[in-house]
């Protein structure tokens, strides 16, 4: 069940890279004055939470007691994809 150190490095860095990307999008909204870009940052939040669910589940060696995190990750990924789609549509208008 345990992930290798390189795999953990990828998981961990991906979660933090996503926060960095969200921050860049927010700053882009402020720089351009186009507030719709801030909606993309909010739309990205469920996807970030999804990544945290995955890391938490693996951190505790995938126990059956935390199986709900797998379902939560799937739901948050779906929600995040939908919210990012809506945000992208709003930006494109």
Per-residue pLDDT tens for 30-82? 999 999 999 999 999 999 999 999 999 999 999 999 999 999 999 999 999 99
The pTM of this model reads 0.93
Provide the domain limits for residue 37: 5-92
Q: Residue 46 in contact with residue 85, Cβ under 8 Å? A: no
- φ, ψ of residue 32 in degrees (nearest 5): -85, -15
Q: Domain total for the chain?
A: 1
């Amino acid at each position: 069940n345990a992930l290798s150190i390189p795999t953990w490095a990828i998981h961990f860095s991906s979660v933090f890279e996503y926060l960095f990307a969200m921050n860049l999008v927010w700053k882009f909204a402020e720089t351009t004055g186009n507030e719709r870009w801030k909606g993309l940052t909010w739309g990205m939040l469920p996807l970030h939470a999804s990544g945290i669910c995955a890391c938490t589940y693996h951190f505790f060696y995938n126990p059956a007691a935390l199986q709900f995190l797998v379902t939560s990750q799937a739901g948050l990924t779906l929600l995040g994809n939908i919210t990012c789609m809506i945000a992208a549509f709003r930006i494109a208008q």
